[in-house]
Amino acid sequence: RPLQRRAAAVMAPPEEILGIKPDGKYNVPAGVREKLGKNLLLNSKHPLGILWKTVQEYFAEQDSNCKFFDTEKPVVSTVDCFDKLRVPPDHVSRSPSDTYYVNADYVLRTHTSAHQCQFLSQYPEITSFLCAGDVYRRDEIDASHYPAFHQCEGVRLFDAQKVSKEEVMEDLKKTLEGLAAHLFQLKTGEDTMRWLDEYFPFTEPSLELEIFYNEDWMEVLGCGVIHHDVLRNAGLDPEKVHGWAFGLGLERLAMVLFGIPDIRLFWSDDARFAQQFSEGSFSEKTKFKPFSKYPPVLKDISMWIPEDFVDNDLFEMIRDEGGDQVEKVDLLDEFTHPKTGRSSKMFRVTWRDMSRTLTNEEVNAKHEKVLERVVEKANWKEVS
Ligand code: FA5
Ligand code: MG
């Protein structure tokens, strides 16, 4: 059974990931593991590196005490990633359907908030910092979602005796609107930006910011006033200090800034992408010139849904087989049988290569492998 052997090779855990030994909870596919250590943020000619440098410049100008971190390992403990941030033990965001586990106690960080308490307790004199890095999530697949992406965390503390919670919130909004204005030359309060109420267990109150891009609103960041329990978990006294925190998606901002239409391009080895950017791209207002789009090949998958099924399981198998040739997966149709109560779903997979035309034959071969794997993996028998 060559297929089974191949699947095993993909899923076999390595000896260790960044010093942490996998156990039975390991669920990192090879395609995601490959992204570890790419260090796109540290590449001063990559759109993400250019954006990260520009964000640092803005904050350095706002606040000369601001510290910058970008070399933390992306493998963190569940304590740092979730517990210290008040994410409940049974919350979906920390379940293996949403998070990549190295072992029962260590995950690929799902957000840069994993470093909030760490830096605040490691450097007691610190009053503001940014921390940027690669983060990992089992997520849907489309032009603005990818299982590996980058976030920038920002934290600023204030004297709780002198500055009210309302003033902290005001400073947060002003700072982030200022950042957006600096990046996009927007006037604040325009129709191109809007604030929405959000919920995060680690901030109270919480907000998110959306930016209007490509005819639609796109969420770019979450933020809020740091919860008192989180301050205590960082060894601080909420009677004395409080503050704000935000976490922004760097790809989303870079897409708007440089006119990059698809999040997969950030990982592209294609010289036609890389050559368009340089250290000066921010001041030169470089806009990405898409190289001609090659035609897509569409493949549908219909399946009866097993009880333990989550859509992310399917997305990951498709992504693992197709890599960056999978542009997106859409749910086309859902049907629940009126008598048996069983439900079926139809997904449409859009296959497209960024640098050549895919043939129907080669996509068929990969599509067949996806189907075999779906059937094999979970004993999902009725797949077509
Ligand atoms: C968080 O991750 C919070 N840690 C943010 C935060 C920090 C809130 C500090 C309060 C205080 P969220 O899951 O919404 O929140 O992600 C933040 C941003 O990451 C999103 O707004 C989006 O820009 C980006 N993002 C999320 N998922 C993806 C993805 N799959 N691909 C690309 N970008 C993503
Ligand atoms: Mg969000």
Please list, in sequence order, all residues whose beta carbon lies within 8 angstroms of the beta carbon of residue 182, skipping any fewer than 6 positions away.
54, 58
Architecture of domain 30-281: 2-Layer Sandwich (3.30)
Q: What are the residue ranges spanned by the domains of the chain?
A: 30-281, 292-378
pLDDT at residue 2, as a whole number: 37
Q: Any idea what the Cα angle at residue 312 is, between residues 307 and 317, rounded to 5°?
A: 100
Q: What is the DSSP letter of 12?
A: P
d(CA 133, CA 360): 38
d(CA 103, CA 90): 17
Spatial CA neighbour of 216 closest among 256, 264, 173? 256
What is the residue with the minimal CA distance to atom 29 of ligand 1?
145
Element (H, E) at 90: none
pLDDT at residue 27, as a whole number: 93
Spatial CA neighbour of 225 closest among 168, 159, 175, 179? 168
pTM: 0.84
Cα of 221 vs centre of ligand 1, distance in Å, is: 6
87 C-beta closer than 6 A to ligand 1: no
User: 265 — alpha (psi -120 to 50), left (phi > 0) or beta?
Assistant: alpha
Element (H, E) at 272: helix 271-274
Q: Which two tokens stand for residue 10?
A: 């993909």
- Chain centre distance of CA 89: 21
Cα of 344 vs centre of ligand 1, distance in Å, is: 31
CA-to-CA separations, 139 to 71, 128, 342, 376, in angstroms, rounded: 24, 31, 25, 22
- One digit per residue, the tens of pLDDT, for the chain of length 384 reads 334 434 434 467 899 999 999 999 999 988 899 999 999 999 999 999 999 999 999 999 999 999 999 999 999 999 999 999 999 999 999 999 999 999 999 999 999 999 999 999 999 899 999 999 999 999 888 888 999 999 999 999 999 999 999 999 999 999 999 999 899 876 555 678 899 999 999 999 999 999 988 788 989 999 999 999 999 999 999 999 999 999 999 999 999 999 998 899 999 888 889 999 999 999 999 999 988 788 999 999 998 888 888 899 899 889 888 988 999 999 999 988 888 888 899 999 999 998 899 999 999 999 999 999 888 875 655 566
Bridge partner residues of 316 (DSSP): none
Residue 220 · residue 248 · CB < 8 Å: yes
**Ligand 2 is an ion; residues with CB less than 5 A from it:** 222
220 C-beta closer than 6 A to ligand 1: yes
- Which CATH number is 292-378's, of 3.30.70.380, 3.30.470.20, 3.30.565.10, 1.10.150.650? 3.30.70.380
Cα of 211 vs centre of ligand 2, distance in Å, is: 13
User: Pocket of ligand 1, candidates 194, 200, 202: which has the most ligand atoms within 8 Å of its Cβ, to mutate?
Assistant: 200
